[in-house]
A = this chain, B = another copy of it.
C-alpha cells in the first residue's frame, strides 16, 4: 500500500496527535495544565476539537481531568506504574500460555523471528544508550507476544497500558535488558 492517503484527518485527531507528541517528548511535563481555549487559540481551531482530543487523551491515560477545573498531564506515581506492569504481566503470561499449547515450531516461527529482531534492536539501543529506542523495541517485543495470541481485545487492553510506560521511558533504569532476555526463554 502506498503512503499517500489524501490526508484528510479530522481536527480532533490532529490536535490529539500534537498533544501526544508534546507529552512523550517532554514539551508538556507531568503536572502541566492543558487549557482548552489556550490550545485552541494556539493551534487556530475552536474549543470543540481540542476538548474532544483532551477527552480522548484522558481515556488513553495521558492526562487527568477534573470537571469544571481542567486537565493536566498525568503524574505517574510508582504504584500506578507497578499496577500497570502487573496487569501487563497477567496478560502476557496468559498469552504465552495460550501459545505454548498450540506451539508448532512452524506456527511460532514468525513470532520468534520478530522477537529476535526486537532483542537485536534493544541490544544496539543499549550500546548507544538511546533510551527512547530501547523502550520502543521493548514495547514491540512485548506487543508481539500479545499480538500473536490472536486476541484483538487483549491487544487493545495491552495498548492502553503501554502508554504510561512509554511516557515514563526516560526514567527507566538499565537493568531491563537482562530481564527481557530472561523472558525470551519461556516461548522457546
Contacts of A107 in B (CB 8 A): none
How many chain copies?
2
Which B-chain residue is minimally distant from A79 (CB atoms)? B152
A10 within 8 A of partner (CB): yes
In this complex, what residue of B is CB-closest to A84?
B153
Question: Is A154's CB under 8 angstroms from B55's CB?
Answer: no
CA distance A6 to B73 in the complex (A): 29
* Secondary structure call for the A interface: helix
Q: Are B10 and A80 in contact (CB under 8 A)?
A: no
Q: Which A residues from 93 to 139 make CB contacts under 8 A with B?
A: 93-95, 98
Whether A94 and B89, one on each chain, are in contact in the complex, defined by CB atoms closer than 8 angstroms, is yes
CA distance A167 to B108 in the complex (A): 36
Q: Assess the A87–B161 pair: CB atoms within 8 A.
A: no
Provide the A48-61 mask, 1 if CB < 8 A to any CB of B, else 0: 10001001100100
Q: Does A168 contact B (CB under 8 A)?
A: no
- CB atoms of B91 and A87 under 8 A apart: yes
29 pairs, A vs B, C-beta closer than 8 Å: A10-B67, A48-B48, A52-B55, A55-B55, A55-B56, A80-B152, A80-B153, A83-B151, A83-B153, A83-B154, A84-B153, A86-B94, A86-B98, A86-B151, A86-B153, A86-B154, A87-B91, A87-B94, A87-B151, A87-B153, A87-B154, A89-B94, A90-B90, A90-B91, A91-B91, A93-B94, A94-B94, A157-B157, A157-B161
